[in-house]
Each structure stands twice: as structure tokens, then as C-alpha cells.
Structure 1
Amino acid sequence: MLQNPPSTAPYIIQKYGGTSVGRSAAGIVEIVRSYVEGGNRVALVCSARSGHTKATGTTNLLLRAALEALRPKGPEIGSSLPSLRGSPSQSPAPGGQSGTSTPATPATPRGSYLLGGSLSSLARLAGGRAQSEDGKELFDDTVDEIKQGHLDAARQVIRNSPDVLAAVEEELEYDCERLRGFLRAAQIIDEISTRSKDIIMGVGERLSCRIITAALRDRGIDAELVSLENIIDWDVQAEEQEVSSKSVDGPPQLGQAFYSRLSQRLGERLAECGDRVPVVTGFFGVVPGSLLAQVGRGYSDLCAALCAVGVGAAELQVWKEVDGIFTADPRKVPTARLLSTITPEEAAELTYYGSEVIHPFTMEQVIRAAIPIRIKNVDNPAGEGTIIFPDTTGSQPEEHTALDAVAPKVAPSAPASLPESALEPHLGPTAITIKDTVVVLSVHSNRKTISHGFFARIFGTLDKHGIVVDLISTSEVHVSMAIHGEIRKSVLDRVVRDLKVVGEITLSRDMAILSLVGKHMKNMVGVAGKMFTTLAEGNVNIEMISQGASEINISCVIEERDAVKALNLVHLKLLHQAPQPLAGY
């Protein structure tokens, strides 16, 4: 079988999102093959499979099943543990189980993230719970949907080896039945904690990695599934010492020491794979305070970054369905250009203001280790993509903890794969983005002479309701804030009610945030003037204006109906031509 090059070769860590795993599993295999045959040492990190729509993605289905476990359907008593094994909708696995090249269905490991004990014992425990007339709970149909979707996906991509297909089918069904048993146990105690929700979500990455691992083996590439649910096993006291801050209202935030130690563990685990290609689950276990609360849905990107730091990778590749990062959304701006390089600060700003680039905390982990991030297109693997890496000027020294020494570091100079000229700073803006569905909330103080406590009352109310402010414009007695408009109406109504004691409230709906981003715009006189003059000439009204202290972006709030026009006008004026190198560098 085709194997990774010797361990002396540096790793390339490849991260594949749920859409890529769902649509292009065969393409992923060919990408891995081309890199391995080219002498590169490769490791993959995969997200949970996405469906045709966001609602049918595996992660959303798992969260739905968790909610359904607390809503039993009917009054009938009795319990069974339904299975798709042998059902008419499931064709028999060809080739049987003899001579399989993959392990048989694994036993539940010690300390596993799912409950111990057999599935039959869980079924007996579930006796007496309310069920529907057909003996199934609400979540049973959802689990069956998840199972059948992954079985179908495996059969589509694994076509050469009946033994490999038979083994992965059994493993997929085993994982889904363990999930079903976990949900039944949660239903019995009538509670799903944040830790339990993390555990349930982690099943999605395990299922997708099983399919990709089997697909690689099916095409003669020696791969190993690396499941990370037990990677975090140090004692609670050590975890508490690695908390950087504690909040009365939310979970404690883990410090850099925690992630440095985790990256070391991940590096050690990948080293155990030898010359096999590791296929790593994006879910890396239950962390203090819940993985969702600490990181959010972008935890698989963070896992890939920590793997890259742990093995001292030459490059972290994030494979998407676009060629890289553009000067604007090419679906809205026909003249948008592909950027060859972009700084981490610029990529973070674009992510904050509407462009899905990569989680800023993920970038922080690899950039501090001087590892470049390359955004590439799974449908166009020959493209160069966009490299996220600091330019040669303006970088501030990072503060490091003692535990940072545990992870291998790359020299802070440009990597060999990047020409120095590509990282030279450029004059002017880099990209422009739009964030739709914005509401502008304005508060005018009803106390004209005493203004102390005005801001505290406002932001205390927003914090109580979990409202995040994207942009803010203030005076002593007036505040205008741009917030995301997809907040539930009931929540927004409560915020308005609570703020009425502070002052007069006005709401402007159907707005959008237009953000011009560029790390070195401050070295170019008149950028803001050109931007606002262009909008005025295009008859685009500006509701708010905001510029960060770092001068990396200039943002304004406009009406949503003018968003596409404004994007094209500003792009044509300021970004249509490639910026010139900064003089003196």
C-alpha cells in the first residue's frame, strides 16, 4: 500500500470541511494521493459531513436528536433497540467479513466518551419510558437518517474492496447504535448537559473520518483513523491551572497553556501512526466548560491548527469550495481578484465582518509558531490558493508561556514554499466585504446633565441577553450599535424594554455593514475619503461610520438593499487594480 514518506519529512496538515467531505470524498482521496506521491507527509483533519442543506448536515441532525431525546412521543410502554441491519433499505455488504483489511467493530474503550455497558442493557434500562405506537422514540428516526446517510456515502465512494466496505459499514452502524444508546440513557435521566451535547456532536466527526479512512484504504493508501475523544486526560487540577480567566456569567476561558499542552499531545499521537496517513477527528474531546462554549462550531479548524503546531508542520492547508480569498465576494463582484497572500490581521477582520475565512483563534495558534495557512479549493487542487502569513513589517512580538516550548517551532522567516516577494507589504486596501442582516440599535440618554453609568447600563443589558455588538458609534449621551439581525424577535424586544429606562430607543432594520480592510491603509492618505465619496456619488446613504484604533478597517452601515451596489462601486474605485508595494521596503 502507498504510505507516507519517512518520518524525517515535515508534515502538511490538511483540513477538510463538512461540505467537502460530503460532496468530494473521492476528490479528497486523489488530493492525498498526489501529495504523498510527491514526497509530502500528510495528515487529514475532517469535519462532520454536511448535507444538501445546512439543516440536513450531520451536526445539526445530532443536535436535533439531542433535543428529541427530551421529548418522548407517546404513552405506550416497552422498549426496543431498532437497527438498520438487515432492513430492506440496506443492501447486504458484499464480500462478507473474512479477510478484511480493517479492524472489526471495536469494543468500547476504557474511558470512552459514550456510556459503558452493552446496548442491550441500555435497552432494558429504557423500559418504561413513553414511546410511540411503533415502539420508536423521536430521536430514533433522526439516528436512522444519520446512519443511512453515512452508509450510502460509504457505498458511493468505496468501490474496489468489498472487505473494506463491509468493515466500515459495520463500524458506522456500531457508532450509530452507541449514539442511540447514549440518547436513551439521557432520556432516562431527562437531562442533556453541555458535556453530553459535546459528546453527541463528536459522533459526526468520527463517522466522517471512518468513511475517509476506508476510502483511502480502498484506493491503496495506508491510512489510520485517529479518534481524539480521550486525548484530554490530565487531571482536573491541572486543567484549572490552565484557565486564563473566569467569568461569573459564563464558563472559564482556557488559557494558552492548555492549548500548548494539547498540541503536544496531538503531535505525540500523530507520531504513533508511523508511515500511515492519519485521518483525525475534528472533535478533540470534552474540554472544561464545554467545547462549544470555549471554541464554537469551528473547533475542527482549531484541531487542525493544534495538530500543525504539535508536529511542526510545514503548512496548514484548509480545503474549501473556493479558490482562496478574494478582494470581494466573486458571486457579487465580477471583477474580484484572487489574493495570493493576506496577513492574519486582515483575514481575521474579513471573518468578523462577513467573509468565512478561518476562525481567528485558529490562526493565532499556527501563526505564533510561524506556520503558514493556505486556503485551497477541493475542486481545483492545482490552484495555488491564498496564503495567510504575516508580512515582513508591522508584526508585534508574541507573548509566550513556558509551555509553548513543548511544541516544535519553525523559524520566523518566510517558509521555503513562500517567496519573500509574496510577503512584502502593499500600500492601500486589501479586500472589501459585506455583512447582511444587521439591525442598528440607537440609545439617546434621557439624562442630559449626568451621563456617568449610561454606557454601563447599556452594555450590562446587552451582556445579560447575550447580544454581540459588531460596530459602535458614541457620544456622551448617544450610542448607536450595529448588531446581527438574526437575533430572535422576543430577545430583541426584551432588550428594547430593558433599555427604555436609560433613554429613547430607535431601531433601524434591514441594514448591512460594509468593511474595507487593509493592514497598511494607514500609510495611504485619503482612503476613507475616496470610499465615502464613492458611496455618495452612487447615492448610497451612510447610517454609521466606524474605524478601529488599529486602522486596519474602515466600516460603515448602509441599507441592505444598496449592499451589492456599494460593494461594486468601492471595489471598482479602490481595489480593481492590484496595490503597489509599499515604498521603502
Structure 2
Amino acid sequence: MSQINQAPQLLVMKFGGTNMQDADAIRHSASLVARSLNEGVKVVVVVSAMSGVTNGLLGIAEAAEKGDIALANDQIAALRTRHFTAAQLLGAAPDAPTVRELRELLETLRQAVYGVYLLRELTPRSRDLIVAFGERLSAPLMALALTLTESGQRAHHLTGGQAGIVTDNQFGNARPLPSTAARIRDRLTGLLDAGVTPVIAGFMGETEKGAITTLGRGGTDFSATIVGAALHASEVWAWKDVDGVMSADPRSVPGAQNIAQLSYGEVMELAYFGAKVLHPLAVTPLQDAGIPLRVKSAADPEFPGTLVTTDPHTDSVHPVKAVTAIKGVSIINVSGAGILGVPDVVADLFAALARENITLLMVSQSSSMSNVSLVILSSDEERTLAALGRPMGGRQLRLDVQPEVAVLAIVGAGMRGTKGVSAKLFSALAAADINILMISQGSSELNISLAIEGQDVALATRSVHSAFGLDAPVTAN
């Protein structure tokens, strides 16, 4: 049951990398938490790594694997300076517990990286161990900042595993196990009842044997909603450096507007098709309980941002709410005499890709069943070709690659049953002289997606955004 109209009793607040990037940003984020605490609301905080740190840690791991330990150590030293400086500016003395803990964490990181260097092997498990240090280093800083606010809050920081997030063994893209919710309640309820604010390192969990796992890029959103669902939170607030979920990427579309309200399904479609505001699975833990998610701007905390609930609040004037795009994708065309009229070919293709954990963005099969087109991330191209290049059931398939493609998608629950949406989409693209390579529409009618030349994506997004009247604010009813 939705709790929108009730005064919040428990909030889960997630802070992204730009809201944790330095001492000033951390101090401001802590003040946002303290404001709710001072109003008598219990808060659980979930934090990302400082901006840029996750990519930096990946670079460190890759340098070690290649044998460049000097570069890896230099980058670890830069991380040490950045985090120690933040601790100092927040008010920690050189021998403070927070500083000692940061020192110990950085030494553990150095040892893990040195192990990769000695073996010249970076496994998914060791990569997760290394990249999770970003959040493990930022959580103590947020806990420190909370204790140093004017109201002097009590805080205790934990890793994702310590907070109760237990996952499967899919390193790099782990999923929580059913036992997670009970473990989270067991680990956090006592702290909350004692008036202590838990600060959780997002993006990470641990296996049942205690190995650190990560939830995929942007996984701190997912961490926050997992915790929110487990604790039956009033709402989950995702603090960002934008006003909320936008009708398009404002870097490509200057007229992009904040969307006041979205459904869980709409948000998942937007996230899946390239909108980087939320992790694609972030809302899934909240759906069954009907717990709202708010995407809010840390720079303008009074602005309501975007509310995500069960109700999509459709608008007959705006059946489409947003236009989004995925760049850097490729089309793999699968053909050959062995594919014609054979019903199990597509199943074999999907099974081969599933074994390699390759995500399909779009799929299309010709009516003659003589070829199948698959849209994948360009970063997965080499693995896809290797997986599909092996004979399947004695059939040798022909594989043709079309690189430098983009997927454009329009999203909105109001498209369901509304006539003329596809016509308006295609007319806008034709007027901009943009060629369509593939088309797909889900049976839910929440989105229409199509593949276009990568070089056309910015023009296509602007043209479609304007055609559907999204340059004017889209408001909730």
C-alpha cells in the first residue's frame, strides 16, 4: 500500500558520487540527512564512491594485471591523498579513528592489487573486491560528517554485506538472495531503535561465504531500494545532481524537462534504454510493497523532483514522457542456409549468449525466418561473435556486424491504446532524414525502440522530443 500521503517515519537516502566527491559535498549531504533526523524521521544512508573513484579503481586493477605496478601504486597514492584530505577538511585529526580506518583500507587495497600484479590475472571476483573499495572508503567519511553536523548525529557505517545484503556468486552483476530482507532487518533495526543512523557502502554485497560482490554499475541505487524494501521504509530518496528524471538527456536536448511522476515500469524502461539516473533494477524491490521512490536534487532540496509509484499518471496530451538512447551498440545479423525454417535456432542463439552473460538490447527476425538481427553493446561484440561463431546443432551460421549504432527509445504508459504514436515517431525521424535500421515494441506498450546510425542519435533525440511536445513541462495530474 502506498505511503505517499503519510508523514515519513523511515527514509532511506542514497547519495551519488557527485554528492560525495569532496568534503564540501559530503558535508552538504550530511546536512540533508540531519534535517530529516531533526524532524524526528529515522534515516538509513546509502553512499556511492567519490565521483570518478570506481573508474579509477578499475584502471588500477587493469594496470596491475598488465604488470604496471608503478602506475597502480601512483593511483592508489592519489586515492589516499583525496580521501585523507576530505577527512581532514571534515574535521578529523591525523590520528582520528576515521583516518586510521582509511589507512587500513588503503593498505588492504594495495595488497589486493599487488596480488593481481603477481598473478597477472584479474578475475571477476578480484575485480569486485577492488572496485568495492570506493564505497568502503566513502562510507566512513559520511559517518564522520554526520557526527560533526550542528546537531551532532550518531552514525555507524557498514559494508553492504555487514548491512545484510547477501547475493549470488555472479561477480560484477550480483543479485540479492531471498534471505537478504530478514538479514537487513536483523542488522539494522537495533541501530535505528538506538537512535544511530546506519551509513551503508552501496553497490556491494557479499556471498554466503563472505566474498565481496558488486551489483553492477549504478548499483548503489539498487542497494538503497533493497534496504528500503526490507525495512518497509516510507520512501526511498535518491539524491542526485539533477532535478529528477528528465524527459531527455539535457546535454543533448536543451529543452529537456523534469518529469513529475513515473510508474515503476516506466522507470525500468528508461533505465534499461540508457537513462543513467537510476539502476535498471532499482525499483524492483519496491514494487510489491508499493514503496515510493523520489529522485531529488541535492542542490535544490525543496524541489519535489520525480516521484516513482505504481500509478503512471498518464496524460492524454503527452502519451510519451521521455526519449532516451543507448550509444555504442552494434547489430549482429545472423543468417545462413541452416537457419531457414528451423524453429530451435533462436533458442540456440539465446542460450549461447546467456552462457556468456551477454545482454540483448533488441531482437528482430525476418518473416521468412532466414535471418535474425541482434543488438548488443559494442563492448560485448568480440564475445558475441566468439559465442555465435561455434557450430550450433551442426549448422554453421554467417555473422555480419554493423557497428557504430545507437538505440533510441520513447517511453510512456500513455502510449498504450493511443493511436498515432508510431506515425508521429517515424514522421519526426523522416523529417530529420534519419534512417531506421530496426524497430521493436514490447507487448506492454510502454516503449517503442529502434536502431539508428550512431552519428544521428543527438539529432534524432531532439527531433522526437520536440515532436511529442516534451519541451514544455510534463506534470502529474
Normalised by the length of structure 1, the TM-score is 0.70
Q: Which amino acid aligns with 2:157?
A: V
Q: Which amino acid aligns with 1:40?
A: V
2:373 is the alignment partner of 1:480: yes
CA distance in 2, matches of 1:309, 1:448: 45
CA distance in 2, matches of 1:291, 1:300: 18
The structural deviation recorded for 1:163 is: 4.5
The structural deviation recorded for 1:179 is: 3.3
In structure 2, what is the equivalent of residue 337 of structure 1? 257
The structural deviation recorded for 1:62 is: 3.5
Q: Which amino acid aligns with 1:209?
A: A
In structure 2, what is the equivalent of residue 3 of structure 1? none
The structural deviation recorded for 1:514 is: 1.2
Q: Specify the SS of the correspondent of 2:301.
A: coil
In structure 2, what is the equivalent of residue 286 of structure 1? 206
For 1:453-479, what per-residue CA distance to the aligned partner results, in whole angstroms no more than 9, with x for missing partners? Answer: 432443344345543221111121121
Q: Which amino acid aligns with 2:467?
A: K
CA distance in 1, matches of 2:73, 2:86: 20
In structure 2, what is the equivalent of residue 17 of structure 1? 16
Q: Which amino acid aligns with 2:436?
A: I
Q: In the superposition, relative to structure 1, how do residues 494 and 307 fare at CA in structure 2: closer, same or farther (>3 Å)?
A: closer
Q: In the superposition, relative to structure 1, how do residues 257 and 526 fare at CA in structure 2: closer, same or farther (>3 Å)?
A: same
In structure 1, what is the equivalent of residue 405 of structure 2? 511
2:314 is the alignment partner of 1:425: yes
In structure 1, what is the equivalent of residue 296 of structure 2? 376
2:86 is the alignment partner of 1:153: yes
RMSD: 3.6
In structure 1, what is the equivalent of residue 159 of structure 2? 228
In structure 2, what is the equivalent of residue 436 of structure 1? 327
CA distance in 1, matches of 2:302, 2:8: 22
Contact 1:154–1:165, Cα closer than 8 Å, also in 2: no
In structure 2, what is the equivalent of residue 306 of structure 1? 226
For 1:542-570, what per-residue CA distance to the aligned partner results, in whole angstroms no more than 9, with x for missing partners? Answer: 11111111111111111122222221222
Map 1:38-53 → 2, pairs under 5 A: 38-51=39-52
Contact 2:87–2:141, Cα closer than 8 Å, also in 1: yes
The structural deviation recorded for 1:72 is: 6.1
2:419 is the alignment partner of 1:528: no
CA distance in 2, matches of 1:188, 1:167: 32
CA distance in 1, matches of 2:177, 2:459: 43
Q: Specify the SS of the correspondent of 1:13.
A: strand
Q: In the superposition, relative to structure 1, how do residues 429 and 439 fare at CA in structure 2: closer, same or farther (>3 Å)?
A: same
The structural deviation recorded for 1:38 is: 3.6
Map 1:73-92 → 2, pairs under 5 A: none
Structure 2 residue corresponding to 1:296, chosen from 211, 216, 221: 216
Q: Specify the SS of the correspondent of 1:554.
A: strand
The structural deviation recorded for 1:575 is: 3.3
The structural deviation recorded for 1:353 is: 0.8
Q: Which runs of 5+ in 2 are unaligned?
A: 1-6
Map 1:238-249 → 2, pairs under 5 A: none
2:42 is the alignment partner of 1:60: no
2:192 is the alignment partner of 1:259: no
Contact 1:164–1:218, Cα closer than 8 Å, also in 2: no
The structural deviation recorded for 1:438 is: 1.9
CA distance in 2, matches of 1:299, 1:50: 14
Q: Specify the SS of the correspondent of 1:318.
A: strand
The structural deviation recorded for 1:225 is: 2.4
Q: In the superposition, relative to structure 1, how do residues 297 and 270 fare at CA in structure 2: closer, same or farther (>3 Å)?
A: farther
Contact 2:235–2:291, Cα closer than 8 Å, also in 1: yes
CA distance in 1, matches of 2:105, 2:55: 17
In structure 2, what is the equivalent of residue 572 of structure 1? 466
CA distance in 2, matches of 1:444, 1:182: 45
Q: Which amino acid aligns with 1:439?
A: S
The structural deviation recorded for 1:343 is: 0.6
Contact 1:344–1:388, Cα closer than 8 Å, also in 2: yes
Contact 2:204–2:212, Cα closer than 8 Å, also in 1: no
In structure 1, what is the equivalent of residue 3 of structure 2? none
The structural deviation recorded for 1:509 is: 2.1
The structural deviation recorded for 1:348 is: 0.6
The structural deviation recorded for 1:310 is: 3.1
For 1:13-46, what per-residue CA distance to the aligned partner results, in whole angstroms no more than 9, with x for missing partners? Answer: 1101122201421221232233233443322111
The structural deviation recorded for 1:70 is: 5.8
CA distance in 1, matches of 2:180, 2:294: 22
Q: In the superposition, relative to structure 1, how do residues 438 and 291 fare at CA in structure 2: closer, same or farther (>3 Å)?
A: farther
Q: Which runs of 5+ in 1 are unaligned?
A: 1-7, 52-56, 74-135, 392-422
Structure 2 residue corresponding to 1:364, chosen from 284, 297, 314: 284
CA distance in 2, matches of 1:484, 1:20: 29
CA distance in 2, matches of 1:298, 1:487: 19
Q: In the superposition, relative to structure 1, how do residues 196 and 562 fare at CA in structure 2: closer, same or farther (>3 Å)?
A: closer
Q: Specify the SS of the correspondent of 2:331.
A: strand
Q: In the superposition, relative to structure 1, how do residues 477 and 147 fare at CA in structure 2: closer, same or farther (>3 Å)?
A: same
Q: Which amino acid aligns with 1:485?
A: S
CA distance in 1, matches of 2:164, 2:274: 37
Contact 2:410–2:448, Cα closer than 8 Å, also in 1: yes
The structural deviation recorded for 1:496 is: 7.0
Q: Specify the SS of the correspondent of 1:487.
A: helix
CA distance in 2, matches of 1:309, 1:486: 33
Greater C-alpha Rg: 1
CA distance in 2, matches of 1:287, 1:448: 41
Percent identity (aligned): 27
Q: In the superposition, relative to structure 1, how do residues 26 and 268 fare at CA in structure 2: closer, same or farther (>3 Å)?
A: closer
Q: In the superposition, relative to structure 1, how do residues 300 and 571 fare at CA in structure 2: closer, same or farther (>3 Å)?
A: closer
Q: Which amino acid aligns with 2:334?
A: V
CA distance in 1, matches of 2:327, 2:226: 32
For 1:262-292, what per-residue CA distance to the aligned partner results, in whole angstroms no more than 9, with x for missing partners? Answer: 34334435435x2233322225542259988
Q: In the superposition, relative to structure 1, how do residues 496 and 376 fare at CA in structure 2: closer, same or farther (>3 Å)?
A: same
The structural deviation recorded for 1:67 is: 5.0
Map 1:392-431 → 2, pairs under 5 A: 424-427=313-316, 428-431=319-322
In structure 1, what is the equivalent of residue 4 of structure 2? none
Contact 2:31–2:149, Cα closer than 8 Å, also in 1: no
In structure 2, what is the equivalent of residue 462 of structure 1? 353
Q: In the superposition, relative to structure 1, how do residues 165 and 426 fare at CA in structure 2: closer, same or farther (>3 Å)?
A: farther
Contact 1:45–1:280, Cα closer than 8 Å, also in 2: yes
CA distance in 2, matches of 1:289, 1:348: 31
Contact 1:305–1:363, Cα closer than 8 Å, also in 2: yes
The structural deviation recorded for 1:347 is: 0.6
Q: In the superposition, relative to structure 1, how do residues 41 and 254 fare at CA in structure 2: closer, same or farther (>3 Å)?
A: closer
Q: Specify the SS of the correspondent of 2:445.
A: coil
Q: Which amino acid aligns with 2:11?
A: I
Q: Which amino acid aligns with 1:29?
A: A
Q: Specify the SS of the correspondent of 1:459.
A: helix
The structural deviation recorded for 1:251 is: 11
The structural deviation recorded for 1:178 is: 3.5
The structural deviation recorded for 1:324 is: 0.5
Q: In the superposition, relative to structure 1, how do residues 464 and 290 fare at CA in structure 2: closer, same or farther (>3 Å)?
A: farther
